[in-house]
Amino acid sequence: MAGPLEGVSMGIKDNFCTRTLSTTCSSTMLQNFISPYDATVVDQLQKAGALVLGKTNMDEFGMGSATMYSHHGPVQHPYTCQGKVVEEDQKRVAGGSSGGSAAAVAMDMCTVALGSDTGGSVRLPASYCGVVGFKPSYGRCSRYGLVAYANSLDTVGILARTVADTTRVYDVISHHDSKDSTSMPVDLRTRVDEHDMHLASRWKGGDLTGLVVGIPQEYYVDPLSEDVLAIWRRGIRCLQSKGATIMSVTLPHTPLALPAYYTIALAEASSNLARYDGIRFGHQSRVAPTDPSMLYADTRTEGFGAEVQKRILLGTHVLISGTYDTLFLPAQKARRRIQEDFDRVFCQPNVLQDTPTKTEGQAHILLTPSAISSAPKMSDYDRQSKVAGTKAVDAYVNDVMTVPASLSGLPAITVPFGTSAVDGYPIGLQLMAQYGYDQLLLSIAAQMTESS
């Protein structure tokens, strides 16, 4: 009997464990590593009939927003590979860290690709490459076999050309997994699914009458380009034309999201990457140290790239006794405030609360940009770390639109909605829903893209 994904070609981001293909995380540290088992989502896809064509390039260990930090080299934007750009200084990034997956889908190399989304690593490249990028609610899809970057943020993501293909794959991999301690429990899953499907069934056939779409004021940030703003306004008009009610909402703690995200993510990464010691598995330095205790240091110096080393150092600094109370704990408090902001604007209660109460919010979904611009030039992105006076963290601002949903564990999806009037590159919009309401989000995204 044919499975629901029989014959569907799949690309797998290189941080998902696979038994028959190497899992390198695009790092020298794991360049020859072959996992003894398949990740749960990979196993589910294969049992459903999907054809795994290969692994896709990524930022090393998922640390980056442009797939420029890879042992295999950077991922170029599909327009470059299609011959639309030939000048070296005009080549653009594909986004990251799932840039290889987004580029593969955009170039028809596969129908769907798996990515991982920690702070926007699926949604940002989807916007740059003009494809759909979906981050389910945290815990919806098993993380077992996904190489950890930041455990409390990592989420399995899906990249595809259409929302329909995205939904087909999501239906296959969104099941409880006892091997993943963060997997959504069956009883909670059943309870929220009932409300989710009921709400999603209210809006079919393009008629969105009664749907309330919130437009967060705080997402109108200074770096937002005029092209993105025009596409955002067009998206609002599209939903209005289908009968949806548009309302302005406020998420006052959104400005804290970016510093809170990088504080928490790098602290968790520092802890997770401590396992790569060159003794148990992975790269081991061949330089004979004068002091045997230096083997660990030599191995990590050779095995990790510059960006990963920088993030490990920052994360370790956050966790030391002198800064834990002044940096890490305030970041966790900011994260909770951001979650509470979302709970106040959504009309559905947050099922993760011990005693969910009726919310005063009115919005069913939120609509924001996915990125502050179309795909940046590779030369401009690289220059950020080389020009004197430029802060190394300036590149992190590219995640400003996507990290709030990640900190809150919310489902979020990027849908392609137009191209820049200046450079002709794709621009996507982001839809977000309350925790657990993934089918509602996919349903609205599908109806919205019918007009894009």
Classify 211 as helix, strand or coil.
coil
Please report how the helices 163-173 and 40-47 are oriented relative to each other, as an axis angle in degrees rounded to 10: 110
Instruction: Mention every residue, 6+ apart, whose C-beta is less than 8 A from residue 149.
Output: 15, 61, 62, 63, 116, 118, 265, 268, 269, 272
Instruction: Check 70, 98, 116, 121 and give the catalytic one.
Output: 121
CA–CA dist 408, 386 (Å, integer): 34
Is residue 418 within 8 A of residue 385, CB to CB? The reply is: no
Please confirm whether the linkage preceding 97 is cis (ω < 30° from 0).
yes
Angle at 372 between CA 266 and CA 147, to 5 degrees: 30
> Cα dist. 253→232, 259, 343, 409, 410 in Å?
22, 11, 12, 16, 16
H or E stretch at 126: helix 123-129
Phi, psi of 419, rounded to the nearest 5 degrees: -130, 160
Active site residue 181: no
Q: Which residues, other chains included, contact 173 with Cβ-Cβ below 8 Å and sequence gap of 6+?
A: 40, 41, 44, 45, 141, 142, 156
Sheet holding 9-13, edge to edge: 51-56, 9-13, 112-117, 155-160, 132-135, 412-419, 426-433, 365-369, 212-216, 245-249
DSSP string, 282-318: S----S--SSGGGHHHHHHHHHS-HHHHHHHHHHHHH
Residue in this structure with the two tokens 């005029």, named with its chain if needed? 226
Rounded to the nearest 10 degrees, how much is the dihedral formed by the CA atoms of 347, 353, 354, 356?
0
Of the residues 65, 97, 142, 174, which is catalytic?
97
List the catalytic residue out of 9, 13, 127, 374. 13
Catalytic annotation on 379? Answer: no
Q: Give the CA distances from residue 396 to residues 110, 385, 403, in Å, rounded to whole numbers and listed in that order.
A: 29, 11, 10
Residue 333 among the catalytic residues: no
DSSP secondary structure letter of residue 332? H
Q: What are the tokens at 197? A: 């499907």
Contacts of 311 (CB under 8 A, 6+ apart): 63, 266, 269, 270
Distance CA 246, CA 212 (A): 6
Active-site annotation, residues = 13, 97, 121
